[in-house]
Amino acid sequence: EMFGQLTTGLETAWNKLRGVDVLTKENIAEPMRDIRRALLEADVSLPVVRRFVQSVSDQAVGAGLIRGVRPDQQLVKIVHDELVKLMGGEVSELVFAKSGPTVMLLAGLQGVGKTTVSAKLAFYLKKLGKSCMLVAADVYRPAAVDQLKILGEKVGVPVYAEGTNVKPSEIAKHGLEEARKKSIDVVIVDTAGRLQIDKTMMDELKEVKQALNPTEVLLVVDAMTGQEAAALVTTFNIEIGITGAILTKLDGDSRGGAALSVREVSGRPIKLVGRGERMEDLEPFYPDRMAGRILGMGDVLSFVEKAQEVMRQEDAEELQKKIMSAKFDFNDFLKQTRAVAQMGSVSRVIGMIPGMGKVTPSQIREAEKNLKIMESMINVMTPEEREKPELLAESPARRKRIATESGKTEQQVSQLVAQLFQMRVRMKNLLGVMQGGSIPALSN
Ligand code: GDP
């Protein structure tokens, strides 16, 4: 069973959390060691494992309770989401050129399944309605040219070949010309592999790449080689620049290290995976499905997701009510900042603030800093001031007291008050509830 060992290793972790009420630093320590061990045994690279475990621990300890969800189930979900993130989150689609034939250059070491993948890829693209041509630019193995011809015939795709006495970059160029004449959509170029990386292979690849200006440069790697696959992708990316990887032999006894390490180590996505010797055994790499398969707990995951969704909805409804009645006060503000602290990210709150769409990590850090400052000021407000921000808008003395007690400037307090009113207005505008309420001006 693919990833079977990894799945079993992770199960050990969940089982140790049966019966606990809430995830704490103490009670997750041992399960986290199990997770670490399981990942290392799956041949995931050590720095990746370290970062992964750290991130999961941080999230687990900060995770609030979700009604009806057991802590062990919650950890499964956190690990799942982190696995998805590790593998790049979204599926990485193949890119096609805007005009002319799209060139896809395939590279890889010998025996990884490169020639097979070339034909599989043609078959896959044909099913998407693209016309394809295969180009045999592996001139070192006469058998490789023949193999490609046979496979091309099998999938009904023309193969361009010039034997083994012409330079690969020349063959590739001629192949591309031919494809242009025939208005072929995609040209797939199979290049020579070696038993290991050497300079001749890299130079040749660079030359072919230069001659073709390919849209996709895909490195074919064997899943059975574990974290070595990630190292290879990194090297090829530095040497020739690649757009992604194709992971083969996922149907075999793969332990998972390659699938989990490639993206994080190399910065390049896995675009496709091969899971068998048949021509139809090539498919897009879906990080979420892969994570689900590794955990083998689809039911738990969808259950936790639903519970989270319900919580979010209740929160959102409550917030909406407040906005409608213009009652969004400093207590709500504080609740939001605390929720943020718990989640370790302000992205959710920022997502709720109208007019703030996508944010960058540095904006998030900046916002987190600002929220800390705001929190210290709100903390020294009286309950009455929190509920009626108008009191602060009207009274410089109150603002001064808050500044003194929180160690901030009066200007910062004024800004905070103004911000709250701006937020009310913006939220009301967003909901289209223009009630004609005026904004109290700050009096000096
Ligand atoms: P190349 O030297 O990289 O061109 O490798 P080949 O395409 O000749 O493939 C080497 C061997 O791996 C062949 O026996 C293929 O049938 C086999 N192979 C390729 N892809 C897969 C795969 O996804 N799963 C399995 N089980 N075998 C594969």
Residue ranges and CATH numbers for the domains of the chain are 4-90 (1.20.120.140), 102-285 (3.40.50.300), 325-431 (1.10.260.30)
pLDDT tops 50 at residue 316: yes
Q: Tell me if 257 CB under 6 Å of ligand 1.
A: no
Alpha-carbon dihedral sign for residues 261, 264, 267, 273: positive
CA-angle at 374, arms to 342 and 428, nearest 5°: 90
pLDDT at 429: 64
Query: From the alpha carbon of 248, which atom of ligand 1 is closest?
Result: 23
Q: Tell me if 110 CB under 6 Å of ligand 1.
A: yes
Write the pLDDT tens digit of every residue in 43-56. 999 999 999 999 99
What mean pLDDT is predicted for residues 318-339? 71
Q: Where are the alpha helices (DSSP H) in 281-409?
A: 287-295, 298-324, 330-343, 347-352, 361-379, 383-387, 389-394, 396-406
Q: Which amino acid, residue 346?
A: V
Give the span between the Cα atoms of 56 and 228, in whole angstroms: 24
Tell me how crowded residue 30 is: count the other CB atoms within 10 A of its CB: 13
CA of 94 to the centre of ligand 1 (A): 21
Between 60 and 327, the more confident residue is: 60
CA of 114 to the centre of ligand 1 (A): 7
Q: Where are the alpha helices (DSSP H) in 71-183?
A: 71-86, 114-127, 142-155, 168-181
What mean pLDDT is predicted for residues 14-19? 88
- Bridge partners (DSSP) of residue 274 are 282
Query: From the alpha carbon of 273, which atom of ligand 1 is closest?
Result: 23
Alpha-carbon dihedral sign for residues 49, 52, 58, 61: negative
Give the span between the Cα atoms of 378 and 19, in whole angstroms: 38
CA of 102 to the centre of ligand 1 (A): 24
Closest CA to 108 of 261, 228, 287: 228
Q: Following DSSP, what letter does each residue of 167-193 receive, concatenated? A: -HHHHHHHHHHHHHHTT-SEEEEEE--
pLDDT at 333: 76
Helix (H, G, I), strand (E, B) or coil at 229: helix
pLDDT at 169: 95
What mean pLDDT is predicted for residues 13-19? 89
What are the tokens at 422?
Answer: 């701006």
CA of 250 to the centre of ligand 1 (A): 11
Between 344 and 413, the more confident residue is: 413
pLDDT at 338: 60
Q: Following DSSP, what letter does each residue of 385-439 receive, concatenated? A: HHH-HHHHHH-HHHHHHHHHHHT--HHHHHHHHHHHHHHHHHHHHHHT----PPP
CA of 305 to the centre of ligand 1 (A): 38
Q: Tell me if 143 CB under 6 Å of ligand 1.
A: no
Q: Tell me if 252 CB under 6 Å of ligand 1.
A: yes
Q: Which amino acid, residue 179?
A: A
Q: Which helix (H) or strand (E) holds 284?
A: strand 282-284
CA of 135 to the centre of ligand 1 (A): 18
Residue bearing the CA closest to ligand 1, atom 19: 113
Between 69 and 280, the more confident residue is: 280
pLDDT at 124: 96
142 falls in which pLDDT band (50, 70, 90)?
A: confident
pLDDT tops 70 at residue 353: no
Q: Tell me if 116 CB under 6 Å of ligand 1.
A: yes
Q: Tell me if 274 CB under 6 Å of ligand 1.
A: yes
Q: Tell me if 108 CB under 6 Å of ligand 1.
A: yes
CA of 286 to the centre of ligand 1 (A): 21
Q: Tell me if 112 CB under 6 Å of ligand 1.
A: yes
Query: From the alpha carbon of 276, which atom of ligand 1 is closest?
Result: 24
What residues contact 364, with CB distance under 8 A and at least 6 apart? Answer: 345, 346, 347, 350
Query: From the alpha carbon of 120, which atom of ligand 1 is closest?
Result: 20
Write the pLDDT tens digit of every residue in 196-224. 778 888 999 999 999 999 999 999 999 99
pLDDT at 421: 84
Tell me how crowded residue 172 is: count the other CB atoms within 10 A of its CB: 28
Q: To test the ligand 1 pocket, which listed residue (201, 277, 278, 279) has its Cβ within 8 A of the most ligand atoms?
A: 277
Helix (H, G, I), strand (E, B) or coil at 56: helix
Helices 25-41 & 46-62 angle (0-180, nearest 10): 150
30 falls in which pLDDT band (50, 70, 90)?
A: very high
Backbone angles phi, psi at 220, to 5 degrees: -90, 125
Give the span between the Cα atoms of 115 and 121, in whole angstroms: 10
Q: Tell me if 276 CB under 6 Å of ligand 1.
A: yes
Q: Tell me if 146 CB under 6 Å of ligand 1.
A: no
Q: To test the ligand 1 pocket, which listed residue (2, 106, 110, 116) has its Cβ within 8 A of the most ligand atoms?
A: 116
Give the span between the Cα atoms of 295 and 285, in whole angstroms: 16
Lowest mean pLDDT among 96-105, 241-250, 308-317: 308-317
Is residue 53 a contact partner of residue 29, using CB atoms and an 8 Å limit?
A: no
CA of 248 to the centre of ligand 1 (A): 8
pLDDT tops 80 at residue 97: yes
Query: From the alpha carbon of 118, which atom of ligand 1 is closest?
Result: 7
Query: From the alpha carbon of 138, which atom of ligand 1 is closest?
Result: 4
pLDDT tops 70 at residue 100: yes
Between 114 and 163, the more confident residue is: 114
Tell me how crowded residue 274 is: count the other CB atoms within 10 A of its CB: 24
Give the span between the Cα atoms of 269 and 272, in whole angstroms: 9
What's the half-sphere exposure (Cβ side, CA atoms, 13 Å) at 8? 8
CA of 290 to the centre of ligand 1 (A): 21
CA of 116 to the centre of ligand 1 (A): 6
What mean pLDDT is predicted for residues 170-179? 97
Q: Which helix (H) or strand (E) holds 160?
A: strand 159-160
pLDDT at 364: 63
Helices 330-343 & 46-62 angle (0-180, nearest 10): 150
What mean pLDDT is predicted for residues 247-271? 91
Between 281 and 302, the more confident residue is: 281
Assembly ipTM: 0.96
